[in-house]
Structure 1
Amino acid sequence: MKLIWSPETASKAYIDTVKSCEKLRESGVPELLSAMAAGWDAKLIVESWSHGTPIATSLGLAMAARHTGGRHVCIVPDERSRLEYVKATRNAGVMPEVVVGEEATVAVLAGVDFLVVDCKRKDFTRVLRRAKVSPRGAVFACKNACQRNLSGFRWHGVVERGTRVVRSVFLPVGKGLDIAYLGYGGGSASVGSSIKKGPSRWIKHIDQKSGEEHLFRE
């Protein structure tokens, strides 16, 4: 089994996210992540969130979950964050599942299809390491990647041992998006190694804030 890309679903989620986030005036990160999660037909979408963080990405992932019929779960560190997050998402018309603390995190991170972490959070690498990739594989994304305080960041060092890193890409969208496509089990493989791949696809993304157009190969 593997993740299969659906351009039609990705496009619908992208458009819905643009409509939902137009008043928030954020970068194109929510739209891009929404399209990717929907396009890969993610059934378990997980994100990490903490006090004071914008909710635009959550809106985008919620739109994706609606189109895939999947679960959208948000991990928050404490009760204060939970209350703030629930209030903000409810006002925006979405209601993701919310779990609090590390104990709940372990159960939620089993069989993840799509994971988004914020590099502003000190524990973002711990979330990545605890996540267990679904049998179909998974896409992991680090937003605000330009602000992480880790030199020499490598996906091989922050994902569960034995997880196979098929390919990764860094996108100059927002404050940096570092995205990896992970295979289920079978050891690790670096980007560019001799892995059989299907036909590549070019994906176009337009930053709604700057108007810049980005092309990347998937």
Structure 2
Amino acid sequence: MGKRGKEPDVAEFVSALAAGNNAQLMVMACASAAGSTAALALVAAAHQTGGRVVCILPGPSELQASKDALGHYANRVEFVAGNARTLLLNDFKGADFVLIDCDINDHKGVFVAAQKGATGHVGALIVGYNALHKGSWPGSELRAAKTHFLPIGEGLLVSRSTNIGQKKSHRWVVKVDKCTGEEHVYRITSPNKRQWIEA
């Protein structure tokens, strides 16, 4: 079973998050050319939800490399070149799933821009991958925005947009199956009000 048996596959996890959130507009901010793994995760989710996938590239020179990496799936992705921060705050404001490569320049600024762009869109998910590459966590900007770090792959940062008046707390629970070594990650959400459960 090797490494895969001990650690969830990042692409499968991201795809499940997007599909489970029934995302209709999925935006991916790339550090360079779109990698096939992350982009295909969103293409798979879009296939389930009927949504669209937009890939923000740093410039037009990455376009052909992205299309080559995705092969025949490239026609299921809309490619846009430009500044990820600006595009997330304007053109793609209200995206319900944003995937950010933390190797991108100013990754924290892009993450915060995605969070601001999702304001008012309750339930929108912002996910950063390769979070351990530049020491993206911990960071005061991201901690203030209630971003959670998950030790999956090269590290994932996950944030969900909520109503300002919504008072719910949540936590991530990681359980390892002792027989198979598989790691299961659960998100538990509950109101801040303490509830007593009798057995």
**Structure 2-normalised TM-score?**
0.72
Q: From 97, 108, 111, give the equivalent of 2:94.
A: 111
Aligned partner of 2:148 in structure 1 is: 169
Larger radius of gyration: 2
Aligned partner of 1:195 in structure 2 is: 167
Superposed displacement of residue 29, structure 1: 0.7
Q: In structure 2, how many angstroms separate the alpha carbons of the residues matched to 1:151 and 1:197? A: 20
Q: Which runs of 5+ in 1 are unaligned?
A: 1-26, 188-193
Q: Name the % identity.
A: 30
**Structure 1-normalised TM-score?**
0.66
Alignment of 1:21-100 (within 5 A): 28-51=9-32, 54-92=35-73, 95-100=76-81
What RMSD, in angstroms, separates the aligned Cα atoms of the two structures? Answer: 3.4
Alignment of 1:113-192 (within 5 A): 113-131=96-114, 132-133=117-118, 135-150=121-136, 152-154=138-140, 157=141, 165=145, 168-184=147-163, 186=164
Distance 1:87 1:204, change over 3 A: farther
On the 8 A contact 1:32/1:205 being kept in 2, the answer is no
Q: Which runs of 5+ in 2 are unaligned?
A: 1-7, 189-199
Q: Deviations over 1:195-216 (max 9, x none)?
A: 2369x8978899xxx9642333
Q: In structure 1, how many angstroms separate the alpha carbons of the residues matched to 2:176 and 2:75? A: 25
Question: Which is bigger in relative contact order (C-alpha 8 A, separation at least 6)?
Answer: 2
Aligned residues: 174
Q: In structure 1, how many angstroms separate the alpha carbons of the residues matched to 2:148 and 2:158? A: 5
